[in-house]
């Protein structure tokens, strides 16, 4: 029955290919695409595809976008980004969601042209941003993540910096291709944490932490509130603490 030991590895490789497909913008079932799905295919968004209503107080400039919306941090949060440096910050005491976008100097379109979906109400938020690979986009999201929040963060390709200190709820982080850094407060930032890397490396810089290479799958128990899952298709993950 030794062949059964291969099943987890096969599942991990298949899962990794799925995340790499996310990076490349390949839809497994193209005939099942929905208007809200984000496809990192490199094609520009049409006016009809953009779901964003500008409000008073929004800072909308050619290479900069800054938006603040009321958000309780206890409902649902869906963030998907193509080709960027994504920074996620936690503010447990906050009552709003803040997002800023900065583009490189050679970008030929306004920052708002890359917004696929930006819908935020106090209990639910969906943010989809579709940047080309040469945009050199930096996205900073500051948001409360409290008990009861169901959140998912997807980055097709790029660098993902996630500060989990002070956060709670069910948090899932998916990176197709690139490097991720996870900042935690020892084991206090989760009740349980799962790390999966399809092809790459894990570096746990915490005292007593263990590294991993190639296909990595690790589970951790913690003393915090809520679960944390980090999936990297191809690339690396660094876990650090203050």
CA–CA dist 162, 86 (Å, integer) = 8
What 3-state DSSP class applies to 138?
Answer: strand
Span 171-194, pLDDT tens digits:
999 999 999 999 999 999 999 999
Give the lowest-confidence range in 19-28, 47-56, 153-162, 175-184: 19-28
pLDDT score for 156: 93
CA–CA dist 100, 138 (Å, integer) = 8
Which phi and psi angles does 131 have, rounded to 5°? Answer: -105, 145
Span 73-117, pLDDT tens digits:
999 999 999 999 999 999 999 999 999 999 988 777 889 999 999
pLDDT score for 15: 54
240: number of Cβ within 10 Å: 13
| Percentages of the chain per state (helix, strand, coil), in multiples of 5 | 15, 50, 35
- Give yes or no for residue 30 having a pLDDT over 50: no
129: number of Cβ within 10 Å: 26
Using 50, 70 and 90 to split pLDDT, how confident is the model at 16?
low
Q: Closest Cα to residue 82, out of 43, 121, 50? A: 43
pLDDT score for 36: 72
Span 197-218, pLDDT tens digits:
999 999 999 999 899 998 999 9
Residue 172 CA: distances (Å) to CA of 47, 193, 194, 226, 227: 30, 10, 9, 11, 8
CA–CA dist 240, 183 (Å, integer) = 5
Give the lowest-confidence range in 18-32, 37-51, 108-122, 187-201: 18-32
CA–CA dist 5, 168 (Å, integer) = 34
Span 112-126, pLDDT tens digits:
999 999 999 999 999
Q: What's the whole-number average pLDDT of the chain?
A: 87
DSSP tag of 148: T
Residue 181's contacts (CB-CB under 8 Å, 6 or more residues apart) are: 159, 160, 161, 162, 237, 238, 239, 240
CA–CA dist 44, 237 (Å, integer) = 30
């Amino acid at each position: 029955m030794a062949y059964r030991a291969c099943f987890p590895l096969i599942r991990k490789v298949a899962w990794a290919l799925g995340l790499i497909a996310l990076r490349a913008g390949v839809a497994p079932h193209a005939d099942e695409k929905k208007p809200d799905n984000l496809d990192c295919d490199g094609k520009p968004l049409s006016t009809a595809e953009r779901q964003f209503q500008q409000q008073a107080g929004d800072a909308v400039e050619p290479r900069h976008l800054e938006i603040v919306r009321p958000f309780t941090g206890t409902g649902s949060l869906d963030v998907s980004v193509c080709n960027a440096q994504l920074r996620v910050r936690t503010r447990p005491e906050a009552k709003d969601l803040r997002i800023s976008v900065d583009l490189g100097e050679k970008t030929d379109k306004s920052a708002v042209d890359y917004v696929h979906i930006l819908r935020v109400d106090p209990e639910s938020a969906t943010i989809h941003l579709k940047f080309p690979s040469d945009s050199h986009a930096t996205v900073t999201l500051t948001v409360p993540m409290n008990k009861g929040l169901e959140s998912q963060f997807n980055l097709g390709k790029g660098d993902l910096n996630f500060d989990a200190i002070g956060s709670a709820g069910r948090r899932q982080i998916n990176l197709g291709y690139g490097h991720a850094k996870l900042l935690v407060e020892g084991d206090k930032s989760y009740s349980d944490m799962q790390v999966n890397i399809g092809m790459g490396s894990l570096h746990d810089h915490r005292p007593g932490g263990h590294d991993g290479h190639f296909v990595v799958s690790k589970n951790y128990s913690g003393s915090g509130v809520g679960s944390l899952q980090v999936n990297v298709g191809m690339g690396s993950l660094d876990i650090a603490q203050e």
